[in-house]
Structure 1
Amino acid sequence: MKDQVKVDCAPSPVESCDSNGSLSLEKNHGGAPLHNDESEDEPIQTILSARGKPVKVWADFDDAMDLADKASYLELTPEEDKKLCRKIDLHMFPLMSLLYAIQYMDKTSNGNAAIMGLITDLKMVGDQYSWASSAFYFGYLGGLFVLPPLLQKSKYFMKTLAAIIILWGMVLIVHAAPNVNFASFVFLRCLLGFLESAITPAFTVITAQYWRKEEHFLRICIWFGFNGFGAIWGCSIAYGLFIRADVYSIPAWKIVFIVNGCITVFVDFLMLFILPDAPQKAWFLSKREKLLLILRIKGNQQGFGNHRIKKHQIWEAFRDLRTWIYFFYAISASIPNGGITNFQTILLHGDFEYTTKQTLVISIAISFVSWLGVPLFGYASSYYLKKKSKYLGSCLIWSIISLVIVLLGVCLLAFLESSKQGRLAGLVFILLSPVALISVLANISANTLGYTKKWTVMSIMLIGYCAGNIAGPHTFIESQAPHYQGAKVTLVVCFAVGIALLTGLYILNVSENKKRDRYAMENTMEENAIQNIEFADLTDFENPLFRYTL
């Protein structure tokens, strides 16, 4: 049975039917349909949430509301749905995936440069390399308080994001300046992190704008999985430069930063001209297809976005238990990420005793596991979801499975001292760990309603991500080199905690959905009074029709 709600109609809009029998909301005094130009200072309607609490609906709707009335006259056939999804995939995904690969390539350029002479040339001693690695995430942390709110407020979303990316490419190039020393290098890493903090929140919001919530996990697996391609690309560039290092007038590790920075700027210009600021401005969609997109995402119970920062949604984000599960999971996942990202090449070079050339080649080879393996989990979830499997269609179940495999891998890495091949296999398994972080991003994308709340929850989660990545490099203690046994044990503990947290998130979502279903069964009310409520920019706590994806 569909969820239905009770409406308090004093004061409230009245309902009217057009010639096609489609209901629309109208003001009592004016008779005009409600759109974003209505007053935002007083509620236009009061509804009951899924738990029976009164919720005021205000006139500052989602951007998609402007097209919702027109779209209600259309019907989205399965054939048109597939064609539209394929068209969006073809126009949005290549550049999104490529850009995400580049941001990871830029992020890991530090590790490649480290074994090419960076540490020696900048005279780093003790834990200075660890602090240089952490500096990126100190900047990232600061950027979360500036760039996500800026992107939410901007009506030129993609142009603003492009400007940020151009700056980050230029900062990367400056890493190779002749007068760079340890202090200036740390400052540049901090600035790079500040600018890159816009990417993951922006891509998560874009995913929610264009695809159905059951499609989010697979899409995020694909663009996030391109981290593996970024690692392959970055290591290939580093390898090519290293074997010809004697022909350059500057150190090869500096050329790594110059090349990566130039690639970033070039791809950003492509993004500027190809990716639209918002779905309603998408040049590759016809007018009819833009209306069909409204119908396509209607089941998400969220639309394109809202540019007003709403304090009550910020407060709700802090009260939501899911926010803190995301936060603590991000810490538990990012401590290993921060360590492995910056010390993988150093482990291969020192602990496994491979030469610099061998290290770069092996890094290229094992990165295919991330690039190809991570999307496979997304495809598996999508396949079983279409088969309507109760458990195997869940992205959280697949993320827990991936973490069990990763936990096995880190145990091999930490405790199988007698076999170098076994420890290398363990290191390879760790590259599947992004699957679980992707499931958290997919949950935020699909399960966090309210545009301000979504940005807030994403920022809180990424604060945990920064904290973990700042701490991660410091688990690799210089006195424990080259084996870093303490860091390896830390990996075991962190992934075990991650399994417990995601299991708790799954149980929480299942329990809440059952409560909402019971309440809907017991309180059958008239649904017509809330047509297009999915575009009213309500939160997941407020929207009575919403159910959490698993």
Structure 2
Amino acid sequence: MTTEKIDSTEELQRVPSFTKENIGEDIVLTTITSANGRAIKLTGDVDEAMALAIDNEGVVLDPEEDKKLLRKIDFALLPIICILYAFQFMDKTTLSYAAVMGLRTDLKMVGTQYSWCGSAFYLGYLVFEFPASVILQRLPLAKATAAFVVLWGVILCLHAATNRYAAFVSLRVLLGVLESAVTPAMMLFTSQWYKKEEQFFRTSIWFAFNGAGTILGGAIAYGIANHAEQFSITAWKALFIITGVISIVIGIVFSTSTFQIIPSKAWFLTEHEKRLVVERIRNNQQGFGNKHFKFYQFKEALTDVNTWLYFLLAAASDIPNGATTNFGSILLNSDFGFDAKQSLLMNMPCGAVELVGCILLAYTNKWIPHRMALSVFAEVITLVSSCMLAFAPSRQARLAGYYLMFVGPVTMICALSCFVSNTAGHTKKITTNAVYLIAYCAGNIAGPQTFIAEQAPSYTGGKISFVVCDAFSVLTILAIYASYYYGNKKKDKEESQTSTALKEIENYEFADLTDRENPYFRYSL
């Protein structure tokens, strides 16, 4: 099939249509000149939903049907996603709980050895983040995710089988490798099932279940610590075995629940509803996904200024996250004076603040349409809270600051939902996501290192690093906000100056175009 260049809508009759015969192969159907002079190549290598979209002629989605379908999707998908995300975070925090249950003493840790246990997890995460994203693109999403979950549950159980520091650190690296897939998978699920305007709130729900994981993990750890004499093994080993087995069960449930991402295979939808799902996400201009890696989209992701602004944001905002995830219970024990068992309980309010606070802030998006503004607001609260933790003279004010810091995840929720809704082109999406999560790993690796053993019990240097990182994060979010705003202004101007033939081509929304390629794509603020 030859390549044609179409400069006006009058020549549209020469543009080949997307048909079931020409989709699936990387053949250029036509090249269109966009408003900014960019050549847009329409190929047969399109989105997985294109075949359904072609058959959707005459299908109309009315508002009442839309609401009913959204409720059905929520009830079918959100519970299992939320449960999975809660348990993956609980698995991360088991190290912090184990630290006050005898782990450091039993493994004879000295100096910065415990800090490196926290950093080792994110070293594995860092190394495998991009390979994990590629695996999720090329393999069935639900099955691949379930396999990662089961394997990380096994590795978590194996933490109890070692009495040597080197072996323990190696297991932390492997755990990071396996958990590197979960956040990209959840983002893909969200982008493929929800409209742009629905994605921020749904992302906030499943991400806020990190808080539920904190509460549940603290409760399990406290229960084990209270009945330690009834176990034939030490309490911290029992903690790893119990949380590991729970993860294995969750992974098996995930793999056997016929949880499918493509509407044509979704067990909970009727044939008519499968077509309506395609119409629901048409205006996202993104589709459901594409299993082929496209190098030009990879290159575009790496030359997009927003990719690197998010890289800086992740690196800065996750230094405090890495520190509190691994040192939270220790800080409550050493700085605030709670005993080992009390510190397990006193960490649970952090989970409650995150679970309730993040969802409530995201819910206000109904009245405050700019989620980036909500992200700035949440980060300012986090900055004030970290100042309280670092500088307040009273113990109560410092403790309040420690708890209020846990509204900070709204910043990451906003970032993840922006990747979902504001990055089009499937390869570009997974690349941008991987770059962000690489920086997320770097921040989490550095975080535990800010807590220096010689500064115990107050760890002043670590607390001051929170303030610096939160201040930088506020400035970075404002820069991203401005980038999206002026990006939309530029697209509006280019579209008004020159029209393109693209909009006249049926189902172009499922052509797997990037946000830069598609002149009708607009960034959601």
- Counting matched residue pairs gives 519
Aligned equivalents of 1:482, 1:26: Cα separation in 2? 68
The separation in 1 between residues aligned to 2:34 and 2:483, in whole angstroms, is: 18
1:474 pairs with 2:449: yes
Counterpart pick for 1:57 among 18, 39, 42: 42
Please list the CA deviations of residues 117-158 of structure 1 after superposition, one character each: whole Å capped at 9, or x if unmatched. 00000100000000011000000011113211111111x221
Secondary structure of 1:268's aligned partner: helix
Say if 2:219 is the partner of 1:236: yes
Provide, for residues 173-199 of structure 1, a one-character-per-residue CA deviation record: whole Å limited to 9, x for no partner: 11111x431000000000000000000
Quote the offset at 1:35 in angstroms.
4.3
Alignment of 1:494-533 (within 5 A): 494-526=469-501, 529-533=504-508
- The Cα offsets for residues 8-48 of structure 1, whole Å up to 9 and x where unpaired, read as 489x98479xxxxxxxx538xxxx556424x41x4111123
User: Measured at CA, do residues 137 and 232 of structure 1 come closer, stay the same or move farther in structure 2, by a change above 3 Å?
Assistant: same
Equivalent residue number for residue 119 of structure 1? 104
Secondary structure of the residue that 1:45 maps to in structure 2?
A: strand
| Counterpart for residue 3 of structure 1 | none
User: Who is 2:119 aligned against?
Assistant: 134
- Over the matched positions of the two proteins, sequence identity in percent amounts to 45
1:438-453 equivalent positions in 2, closer than 5 A: 438-453=413-428
Q: 1:295 aligns with which of 272, 276, 279?
A: 279
Rounded to whole Å, the distance in 2 between the matches of 1:163 and 1:335 is 29
Post-superposition offset of 1:525: 4.6
Structural RMSD (CA): 1.7
Residue of structure 2 in register with 1:326 after alignment: 310
1:212 corresponds in structure 2 to 195
1:279-428 pair list within 5 angstroms: 279-381=263-365, 383-384=366-367, 392-416=368-392, 418-428=393-403
Q: Which segment is superposed worse, 359-368 or 449-458?
A: 359-368
Give the one of 135, 139, 149 matched to 2:134: 149
Letter in 2 for 1:446: S
For the residues of structure 1 that align with 2:459 and 2:132, how far apart are their CA atoms? 36
Cα deviation for residue 362 of structure 1 reads 1.1
How far, CA to CA, are the matches of 2:14 and 2:77 in structure 1? Answer: 38
Aligned match for 2:17, one of 22, 26, 32: 26
The aligned runs of 1:166-177 (5 Å cut-off) are 166-177=150-161
SS in 1 for 2:269: coil
CA distance in structure 1 between the aligned counterparts of 2:17 and 2:375, rounded to whole angstroms: 45
Match for residue 257 of structure 1 among 208, 233, 240: 240
Call closer, same or farther: CA 1:49–1:113 in 2, change over 3 Å. farther
Contact 2:32 2:501 in 1 (8 A): no
- Quick check: 2:35–2:497 contact (8 Å CA) kept in 1? no
Give the secondary-structure state (helix, strand or coil) at the position aligned to 1:116: coil
Equivalent-residue separation in structure 2 for 1:163 and 1:13 (angstroms): 47
Corresponding residue to 1:536 among 490, 500, 511:
511
- For 1:282, the aligned partner's letter is A
- Residue 162, structure 1, aligned to residue 146, structure 2: yes
Partners of 1:527 and 1:54 in 2: CA distance: 11
Report the CA distance between 1:427 and its aligned residue.
0.2
CA contact (8 A) 1:50 1:543 kept: no
Show the counterpart of 1:7.
Answer: 6
SS at match of 2:407: coil
Shift of 1:280: 2.6
Deviation at 1:469, TM superposition (A): 0.3
| Structure 2 contact 20–51 (Cα < 8 Å) conserved | no
Tell me which residue corresponds to 2:66. 81
State the alpha-carbon separation in 2 of the partners of residues 49 and 268 from structure 1: 45
The code of the aligned residue for 2:336 comes to: F
1:327-368 alpha-carbon deviations (Å, 9 max, x no partner): 110001110000011011111000001111211111113321
Give secondary structure in 2 for the equivalent of 1:489: helix
The residue that corresponds to 1:387 in the other structure is none
Task: Check whether the contact 2:34–2:500 (CA below 8 A) recurs between aligned residues.
Answer: no
Could you tell me the TM-score, scaled by structure 1's length? 0.92
What is the SS of the residue equivalent to 1:162?
helix
State the match for 1:20 in structure 2: none
CA contact (8 A) 1:276 1:282 kept: yes
| Distance in 1, Cα, partners of 2:6 & 2:321 | 48
Secondary structure at the counterpart of residue 104 of structure 2: helix
Q: Which amino acid in the other structure matches residue 113 of structure 1?
A: A
Q: Distance in 1 between matches of 2:22 and 2:214?
A: 46
Question: In the alignment, which residue of structure 1 is the partner of 2:23?
Answer: 36
1:199-251 CA distances to partner (integer Å, 9 max, x unpaired)?
00111011000000111110110000000000000000000000111121110
Give the superposition deviation at 1:413.
0.5
Whether contact under 8 Å (1:127, 1:478) holds in the other structure is yes
Per the TM alignment, residue 161 of structure 1 is displaced from its structure 2 partner at its CA by 1.4
* Distance in structure 2 (CA, Å) of the matches to 1:48 and 1:219: 36
The Cα of 1:394 is off from its aligned counterpart by 1.0
Q: From 243, 247, 255, give the equivalent of 2:230.
A: 247
Query: Secondary structure at 2:347's aligned position in 1?
Result: helix
Shift of 1:518: 1.4
Alpha carbons 1:343, 1:473 under 8 Å: kept: yes
Moved more, 131-140 or 142-151: 142-151
Question: In the TM superposition, what is the alpha-carbon distance from 1:304 to its structure 2 partner?
Answer: 0.9
Return 5+ residue gaps in structure 2 as ranges: none
**Aligned with 2:175 (options 192, 211, 221):** 192
Aligned to 1:93: 78
Normalising by structure 2, we get a TM-score of 0.96
Any gaps of 5 or more consecutive residues in structure 1? 1-5, 17-24, 385-391
